[in-house]
Amino acid sequence: MKFKFNLFGKKKKISSGIYSVYQPIVDIATWDIKGYEALVRSEKETPLEMFQKSYEDGTVVPFDFHCLEVAIGALPNLAEGQYLFLNIESPTLEQAFDKGKKGEVFLDGVKEYSEKIVFELAEGVKRSDFEFIRRGVTFIRSLGYRFALDDLTEIGAKTIQMASLRPDFFKIDLRLVRGIADNHVNQQIVKEMVHLGRMNGSEMVAEGVENKEDYKYIRNMGIRYGQGFYFARPEKELLTYLEPPEEART
């Protein structure tokens, strides 16, 4: 199914030939697929190169919407109770997600799937951006959509400020998760994040799970969801079933 938008007319200077891949977000205990994160890809450029170019050209907002439009093609294929996690750049949230703006048009176009969509906003925004983030998140939620705080790397004033928005999901950055089974500093940081998430009523997602040792450690911490190569790599089509390896059953 294709969703049709014409938010910016002809998209000048915007990378063409992009597509989405979808990485499962997995219930660590059962290996059921809770949802998928949509990730932009191109045969010509890396995601970082594409976004850097869009910032330099001043086209980050239309490019971000272009990525969103490509990603939402998977919505009709989601099973009951599954979510599609969509990344959104902070300038897009600031400039477009308010009443009467292009973000409202976009949300209205996918409103039948509002309960299945989670918007991911990176934690690495400036504290001075908090007010527009609060407005954007409030607007998104007023229309029935969910919100995730992505790339959590530390417990500090900025994280606590963002946590006051009570995200539906906290996503722990892969730099903390990779090797966590043997990294006592990261273990302590993640424990504090888990505590903060529980106080907020937020579900926790550990990103970057790549081996059985880290998988077992985060499972024993009580983190409910995981994402990473240990479960599955991103694919163009939605994976519908994952078989846990024998080592994950013990």
Q: What is the mean pLDDT for each group of 10 consecutive residues in the chain (250 residues)?
A: 64 70 97 98 93 93 94 96 96 94 95 97 72 93 96 86 92 96 96 93 96 96 96 97 89
Residue-level pLDDT at 29:
94
Residue length of the chain: 250
Taking the mean position of all CA atoms in its chain, how far away is CA 16? 22
Q: Are 84 and 35 in contact (CB under 8 A)?
A: yes
Beta pairing partners, 27: 225
Query: Residue 126 has what DSSP assignment?
Result: -
Residue-level pLDDT at 155:
86
| Count of CB atoms situated within 10 Å of the CB of 30 | 10
Q: Are 119 and 88 in contact (CB under 8 A)?
A: yes
Residue-level pLDDT at 4:
67
Burial degree of 151 (CB within 10 A; 0-12, 13-18, 19+)? middle
Q: Are 226 and 26 in contact (CB under 8 A)?
A: yes
Q: Could you please state the CATH topology (level 3) that the domain comprising 18-249 is classified under.
A: TIM Barrel (3.20.20)
DSSP string across 132-177: HHHHHHHHHHHTT-EEEEEEE---SHHHHHHHTT--SEEEE-HHHH
Q: Are 115 and 144 in contact (CB under 8 A)?
A: yes
Residue-level pLDDT at 123:
59
**Which two tokens mark 216?**
């077992």
Enclosing H/E stretch for 33: strand 33-42
Nearest CA-CA partner of 239 in 79, 119, 81, 114:
79
> What is d(CA 66, CA 64) in angstroms, rounded to the nearest whole number?
5
Residue-level pLDDT at 38:
98
3-state helix, strand and coil shares in percent for the chain, rounded to the nearest 5 = 45, 20, 35
> What is d(CA 162, CA 146) in angstroms, rounded to the nearest whole number?
15
Taking the mean position of all CA atoms in its chain, how far away is CA 200? 18
